[in-house]
Amino acid sequence: MSLFLNILIVAIIIGGAGVVLYRHLKKSKAGSCPACEYDCAAKQQLKKHQMEQHHSS
Amino acid sequence: MTTVALLGNPNTGKTTLFNELTDKYAYVGNWEGVTVDKKLGRIRHSEMVVVDLPGIYSLTPITKDEAVACNYLLNDSPDMILNVTNASQLKRNMLLSIELLEFGRPVVLALNMIDDLKANGISYDFAELAKRLGCQVRATNARKKSGLDQLRQELLATPPTATQPLHLAYPAAVQAAITQASQALVTDYQLTPAFANWLAIQYLNRNQIVRRYANKHHLQPLLRHQQAYDDQNFEEQIFQTRLAFIDDTLTATTKYLHEVSNANLTAKIDRIVTHPVLGLPIFVGIFLLMFKLSFDWIGTPLSDGLDAFISGPLSATANQFLTSIGAIPFLKSLIVDGIIAGVGGVLSFIPQIFVLFACISVLEDSGYMARAALVTDRLMQLIGLNGKAFIPLIIGFGCNVTGIMAARTIEQPKERLVTTLISPFMSCSARLPIYGLFVAAFFQRNQALIVLSLYFLGIAVALLMAKIYQWVFKIRENTVFIIELPKYHVPRPDIIAMGTWEKGKGFIRKAGTVIFGGTVLIWLLSNLGPRGIVTNIDQSFSAAIGQFVLPLFRPIGITSWQTISALMTGVLAKEVISSSMIVLFHLSGQTGLIATFSSLFTPLSAYALLVFILIYAPCFATLAAIKAETNSKKWALYSVVSSTVIAYLAALLIYQVGSLFI
């Protein structure tokens, strides 16, 4: 495996970690419901509703 | 699209019925406050949408939950109402039913938990009941899924058109006021006669939401007589009329099947588990049993097996594979020592966490949790809080964010604020991996007991702080705590399995997100220093940060900068503390863990550290929840500072006093 490929994989892992941390902090910052890890029925229904709206538009 | 409002008293099996009818699983438990949020679900193969509203005892709101339901009727006007009742408690449940029947929309009355009623030797003449109430009546048992198809058919077959509302024979003065006001509302404001009639009754009944609605819409026929209505105590007259109607209806429709002993099983069990003296020790005993199962008997052996696999064959295979494809040492270390060791190390606690969640699900589904709230209410009263605060607190054992959100059910703003502020002291499941790491190293024979002591210490700190806040905020209101004690059930395996999965899947999801991100971050900080890549971890950024604040932590028994750096990552999520420690200490497997920790900690300093972790600054998501719920950054900031100070003082006290004896 070339050095370039090694560096590329390291960059992808670190970049990926950065993205998930950014997303986590952004989600947490949004407050109660989005920050809550519990995927309750209300959240599931909301996602379904958003998907339906997305498909219909 | 037809909309059905699902309404009923708390603990009538409303949420279970919602899940069964809409073919959508939702969390099932005996908690008051589980359905704080409005939930929508579509009935299978139809365009009928069911709206699950919070459990309420009447439309006259005392709590935020009740206000949600009343506002929904006022502003969204559903096409139909599905009123779920506990068949064994019909007398009390019907107070709400009457208010719904007066609304003038088709109502289907579900007599849920019908088997419990029959077990008590009672049934109802459904045809007569339907005739007297002017609605469809169906017997169901949502838990056993019986009567649900008929109920679904009934809902689909009921035309969603306005129907004749129930008319009770209110006293002449009350009736005259209702008639006069509703006629004026129909004429002057073009309201439908049924809605005007319902609005007038609710207004006379001092429904604050309806009164606010009348003010907003300037409904003069009601507003100008408000004083007169209140002076004549129409509210009490309405209540008495409803009660008399319920008594008459139930007397005429009740059928006695056979004689039964009053001392049924639930009452027998309750005599012991809610006993004023025995109740609390039983509660503690049940929690100890739960931790024994999670940490001593089932969870730990499974976790050890998983840990051996991750730190052994998985790491070795990954290492060999990376070497064979020519990966540079930096990449190999990132994947093997960072991601596999860190994330894998946290994942190895999955069995313990899932066993604990399964136990909690069993307690919820069996009906014990409501008793736990009742038992702790006595303790809470000593502090000045009521048992209702126990519910968000115990929900906080799963996740503090969810617990803080559950505090919405507390109606008094100051009590709600206190519960929100003390919720982070509850030991959330994210702290379990770090407990697991240390109890395995230092308290192998008493793992469950040590974890139990941490949970109860969290409760003790929360209660102590609650008392202080009560005094500081000058809280004098004393709200009454009412909780329905559902009958005990044999827990259903599918509900337990789903409940456990619903609670636990967030932990697995976090492994792929924040735990992964946090682990890579700490690995980077421990492999990079001011001069680039470092081979000696003591020259890394994480060492520099940890060593800078280390002197502050020596008095509580922390002597390694790695521990400090790991604690800092806990702000991302508490699970990251464990993965950070695994990465920073290069821990691998149980033997390596015990060897490394034994040179850095004593059992006393390890316990002091666990106490610090239990109490110190909440994670970022919890802080955001505090900010959102209190609508103030100030309280979130206060929570960070106060909890860190309290954590430090508690750990200092334990370590310093303990050092005198050990």
Position B29 scores a pLDDT of 41
Q: Is residue B606 part of a domain?
A: yes
Per residue in B410-435, pLDDT (tens digit) is 777 888 899 899 999 999 989 999 99
Give the separation between CA B214 and CA B71, rounded to whole angstroms.
12
Same domain, B237 and B293: no
- State the average pLDDT over residues B327-343: 93
Could you tell me which residues come within 8 angstroms of residue B265 by beta carbon, excluding any fewer than 6 positions away?
B488
* Average pLDDT for chain B: 88
Q: Among the ranges B235-239, B255-259, B363-367, B386-390, which has the highest mean pLDDT value?
A: B235-239
State whether A35 and B624 contact (CB < 8 Å). yes
* Residues of chain B above pLDDT 70, percent: 94
Position B545 scores a pLDDT of 94
Rg of chain B over Cα atoms, rounded to whole angstroms, equals 29
Distance from CA of B26 to the nearest CA of A (A): 5
Q: Which residues of B touch A41 (CB under 8 A)?
A: 18-19, 24-27, 39, 41, 52
Position B13 scores a pLDDT of 84
Distance between the two ends of chain B, CA-based, in angstroms?
71
Per residue in B175-185, pLDDT (tens digit) is 999 999 999 99
Distance from CA of A7 to the nearest CA of B (A): 8
Q: Among the ranges A38-42, B116-120, B405-409, B638-642, which has the highest mean pLDDT value?
A: B638-642
Contact A50/B at CB under 8 A: no
Per residue in A6-52, pLDDT (tens digit) is 999 999 999 999 999 999 888 887 765 666 666 655 555 556 556 66
Phi, psi values for residue B5, rounded to 5°: -90, 125
DSSP B207-260: -HHHHHHHHHTT-HHHHTTHHHHHHTTHHHHHHHHHHHHHHHHHHHHEEE-S--
ipTM for the complex shown: 0.81
**B440 three-state secondary structure:** helix
Per residue in B567-581, pLDDT (tens digit) is 999 999 999 999 999
Per residue in B529-560, pLDDT (tens digit) is 998 889 899 999 999 999 999 999 999 999 99
Q: How confident is the model at residue B479 (pLDDT cuts 50, 70, 90)?
A: low
Q: Which residues of B touch A36 (CB under 8 A)?
A: 399, 401-402, 405, 621, 625
Phi, psi values for residue A27, rounded to 5°: -65, -45
CA-CA-CA-CA torsion sign (A21, A26, A28, A33): negative
- State the average pLDDT over residues B136-150: 87
List the domain boundaries for chain A: 3-56
Per residue in B439-456, pLDDT (tens digit) is 989 998 899 999 999 999
Same domain, B151 and B179: no
Position B478 scores a pLDDT of 61
Q: How confident is the model at residue B343 (pLDDT cuts 50, 70, 90)?
A: very high
Give the separation between CA B50 and CA B404, rounded to whole angstroms.
27
State whether B39 and A33 contact (CB < 8 Å). no
Same domain, B73 and B122: yes
Same domain, B78 and B226: no
Q: Is residue B254 part of a domain?
A: no
* Higher-confidence position of B23 and B112: B112
Same domain, B144 and B188: no
* Residues of chain B above pLDDT 90, percent: 54
Same domain, B294 and B442: yes
- State the average pLDDT over residues B609-631: 92
Same domain, B218 and B307: no
B157, B188, B208 - which closes a domain: B157
Same domain, B562 and B428: yes
Same domain, B293 and B226: no
How many domains is chain B partitioned into structurally? 3
Position A49 scores a pLDDT of 57
**B438 three-state secondary structure:** helix
Judge whether B112 and B87 are in contact, CB under 8 Å: yes
State whether B514 and A44 contact (CB < 8 Å). no
Q: Is residue B213 part of a domain?
A: yes
Judge whether B229 and B266 are in contact, CB under 8 Å: no
Same domain, B507 and B551: yes
Position B8 scores a pLDDT of 92
> Residue B384's domain spans which residues?
281-478+492-661
Residue B279 labelled as part of a binding site: no
Q: Is residue B194 part of a domain?
A: yes
Q: Which of A37, A39, A56 to mutate to test the interface with B (most CBs of B within 10 A)?
A: A37
Q: Which residues of A touch B27 (CB under 8 A)?
A: 38, 40-41
Position B35 scores a pLDDT of 43
Which of A10, A24, A29 comes nearest B513 by C-beta?
A24
Position B32 scores a pLDDT of 41
Which of B37, B620, B625 comes nearest A42 by C-beta?
B37
B126, B157, B188 - which closes a domain: B157
Q: Which of B20, B21, B39, B44 to mutate to test the interface with A (most CBs of A within 10 A)?
A: B39
State whether A30 and B624 contact (CB < 8 Å). yes
Same domain, B176 and B285: no
Q: Among the ranges B33-37, B86-90, B540-544, which has the highest mean pLDDT value?
A: B540-544
Give the separation between CA B366 and CA B369, rounded to whole angstroms.
8
Same domain, B517 and B657: yes
State yes or no: pLDDT of B154 exceeds 50.
yes
Edge-to-edge strand list for the sheet holding B136-139: B39-42, B49-52, B3-8, B80-86, B107-112, B136-139
Per residue in B254-293, pLDDT (tens digit) is 988 765 554 478 888 999 999 988 999 999 999 999 999 9
Position A31 scores a pLDDT of 63
Q: Write the CATH number for B43.
A: 3.40.50.300
- The label of the residue with tokens 């102590």 reads B464
Which among B165, B173, B224 has a CA at the least distance from the CA of B193? B165
Per residue in B305-334, pLDDT (tens digit) is 998 899 899 999 999 999 999 999 999 999
